[in-house]
Structure 1
Amino acid sequence: MNLRRALLTGAAATLAMTSLPAVASATTTGDVLCTYVVVSDGGLNFRDTYATSGRLVRHLNKGERFDAYRDRWVDRAPYRWRLIEKHPEWPWSYGVYAATGDESGAYMARDPRYSCYDEG
């Protein structure tokens, strides 16, 4: 179950955020997802755009894990916004994003215990 489906059905999004990555398929899309962990004491906000003014979609606490696109981000000073989930039907942002950090440090870090995988 992905975050979008969990939010639409009202299911617990926590399940989507903590599930183990899927096995890479033979068909590749070029989009690689990796598992990240929240490292900021204040947690991490997922927003419906790459701006702090965007609607809050989900908040994760320090230590929680989630999957996100390794190579898809948007630079909007003072943040770099990593794509969490694609929504091509949203012409203003195309998805759910989280800031990777600021001048005080990182908000998220890749969890090396899990291999990255192709979205397939």
Structure 2
Amino acid sequence: MKEQAREQWVMNLRRVWLILALGLFLGLAAYQLGLPGLHYDEAKEAGVNAMELLTGAPITAYRGAALRALGRDWPLMVQDYIGALNVYLALPFLALTGIGVPNLRMEALFLAVLALLSLERVVSEWWALQK
């Protein structure tokens, strides 16, 4: 029983550290999220096409690489060797929060949190196998 209580305490402590670490990360990463302004690659790789999709404006597809579906064009490429996945990942954030620089960068912040949580899970599993 004592060992079970100790394991529960360790698990709770790990959760507290994880929450604190993620909170610190979010606080530092989100601080002044809109500065220094939109860079060319951010605008080109996600912002412009996502804004066009949300506002219903005609799509400026790179070299005409677009797929026609549901009555509109959907970009396939944004630059040579760069697909439009970033455009589609940014759509929910811009749709929910409006079009703006910090709103566009929230996508990267969200993906970074997912990556950190995945890393924590993998390391925890690996650590458990080492015992």
- What is the TM-score of this pair, normalised by structure 1? 0.21
- What is the TM-score of this pair, normalised by structure 2? 0.20
Larger strand proportion of the pair? 1
Higher RCO (C-alpha 8 Å, min separation 6) = 1
Larger helix proportion of the pair? 2
